[in-house]
Amino acid sequence: MTQQLSTAAVDPRHHQGVVVRDRHYIDGQWTAPSGQGHIDVIDATTGEVMARVPEGAPEDVDAAVAAAAAAFPAWSALPLEDRAAVCRQIADGLNARGAEIAEFISRELGTPHVLAVAVQTGTPLTTFASMADFGPELSLEEEIGGTTVVKEAIGVVGAMTPWNFPLHQVAAKVAPALLTGCTVVLKPSEVCPMSAFVLAEVIDELGLPPGVFNLVTGYGPVVGEAIAAHPDVDMVSLTGSTRAGRRVGELAAQTVKRVTLELGGKGANVLLDDVDGADLQAAVGGALGNCYFNAGQACAALTRLVVPRSRLADVERLAVAAAESFVPGDPFDPATTVGPLVSDVQRERVREYISKGIEEGAWLLTGGVEPPDGLDQGYFVRPTVFTDVDPRSVIAQEEIFGPVLVIIPYDDEDHAVEIANGTAYGLTSGVWSTDRDRAAAFARRMRTGVVFINGATLNPLAPFGGYKQSGNGRELGRLAIDEFLEVKAVY
């Protein structure tokens, strides 16, 4: 199911000046916004304006929703195999523009370019392709005791996505929505919107029926809230902060529409007491790699390393060595292993958390609030490690969304479970052990939607989502498809 991504050489100076996208995509056309405002997109490495997109308004949402509602009857009536073929064509179209997408994401987000190619661009292709493959396998009708049970597209889907995995999160919503016969109004993050415009251009070139896919850019409190509250939107799917999820849920409840939420996380990575020697070194190195991926800007990041108190000194030594081996820098420099944060706002937020950790009395092993040497320009933060952290402290409870790891010691296995489950979140967790059965048994005690054993990586064909305040519903894989379907019993 994995697509082969184009690996054409990328010149980071390919786009000279400011890239302007001054129209929304509504009803199959590039449409002028109702207002005159625009939003600047900032290069995370230089702090300079790299692009400009429309600042949408509720009137733009109204037009997009009307187009989606009008397109729904015909689109949902198409044979499933035709919609599956569209998902395949979108994957192929994105693949052909993979170099452009990766460059945009490296610039606006700061992801090192090699990772922007492999993950930020490659994973969305897999998602669209997987929906094409799942299409022929779907069973949308069955007989139960003489009653026909039918699964049907839910209707108009309002999709709102974050900036940290801008195209991946879009694909996780748009691909299953289109496959099932839903029509879509997409609001991407205004911070990293450029890959969503590439997707809209790909869809436009395919000639999908007008209104099946619509793109409106703008700010969450304006465009996002208009989508969530709109009476003709049948479902809202949001990936974002827990605070944003609460607000969307409040607005959507007024019209009792379906809501799926993929929200924050504060994942625990638990080292069991049989991990030692080379296994311990691999576990700590893997933990740092997970925490610092995408500069720590990942809800799935395992940012709490929970270790036996008897191993604490060894873990601290290994963690410092691993953290200091990361190379902050320009995303287009092949030597860079951790890029800048996405914005000045995000950098200051992370610095405030680091300061809070010091204030709370946690031991700062490495990193801190000062920028990395030689990187005063751009939104860089030093890879940071705290140790002997109180599990009830702010830096152990709240999502920092930056390259900050906290090490928490535990006394026995029950204590480790208590710490791991002791936050408001329940998205991802991890466990390391030389005994796979023991690790699997421990994983079952962890109250999260995803558990990684011994450094396993995300499977884009498996369901992803969280318990507790990390949200509801699932994305990716076959189970994601059911989120976009209604069930009808015909007697």
Summarised one tens digit per residue, pLDDT across range 79-121 is: 999 999 999 999 999 999 999 999 999 999 999 999 999 999 9
262 labelled catalytic:
yes
Which ranges constitute the DSSP H helices of 293-342? 312-324
Cα–Cα distance measured from residue 314 to residue 321, given in angstroms and rounded to the nearest whole number: 11
Q: What is the pLDDT of residue 135?
A: 84
Q: At what angle do helices 98-109 and 80-96 cross, to 10 degrees?
A: 70
Closest CA to 300 of 394, 431, 399: 399
Nearest 10 degrees: CA dihedral of 185, 425, 446, 430? 80
What's the number of CA atoms in the CB half-sphere (13 Å) around residue 30?
A: 13
Residue with tokens 């490659």: 122
299 labelled catalytic:
yes
Which of the 8 DSSP states describes residue 17? Answer: S
Query: Which listed residue (299, 399, 475, 483) is catalytic?
Result: 299
Answer whether 458's CB lies under 8 Å from 468's CB: no
Answer whether 167's CB lies under 8 Å from 175's CB: no
Q: What is the pLDDT of residue 384?
A: 98
Q: What is the pLDDT of residue 194?
A: 98
Q: Where in the chain are the domains?
A: 19-263, 268-458
Tens digits of residue pLDDT in 336-379: 999 999 999 999 999 999 999 999 999 999 999 999 999 989 99
268-458: same fold as 19-263? no
Q: Where are the beta strands (DSSP E) in 294-394?
A: 304-308, 363-366, 384-387
Cα–Cα distance measured from residue 97 to residue 199, given in angstroms and rounded to the nearest whole number: 9
Q: What is the pLDDT of residue 9?
A: 36
Tens digits of residue pLDDT in 3-55: 333 333 344 545 568 999 999 999 999 999 999 999 999 999 999 999 999 99
Based on the number of CB atoms within 10 Å of its own CB, is 461 exposed (0-12), middle (13-18) or buried (19 or more)? middle
Q: Is the pTM of this model over 0.85?
A: yes
> CB within 8 A of 390, min separation 6: which ones?
360, 361, 362, 396, 408
Cα–Cα distance measured from residue 131 to residue 144, given in angstroms and rounded to the nearest whole number: 27
Q: What is the pLDDT of residue 8?
A: 37
Query: Which listed residue (55, 108, 190, 262) is catalytic?
Result: 262
Cα–Cα distance measured from residue 381 to residue 370, given in angstroms and rounded to the nearest whole number: 7
Which portions of the chain are predicted below pLDDT 70?
1-16
CATH code for residues 19-263: 3.40.605.10
Cα–Cα distance measured from residue 460 to residue 426, given in angstroms and rounded to the nearest whole number: 19
CA distances, 395 to each of 35, 98, 268, 369 (Å): 41, 37, 13, 14
Please, what CATH class does the domain formed by 268-458 belong to? alpha beta
Identity of the amino acid at 308: P
Q: What is the pLDDT of residue 137?
A: 83
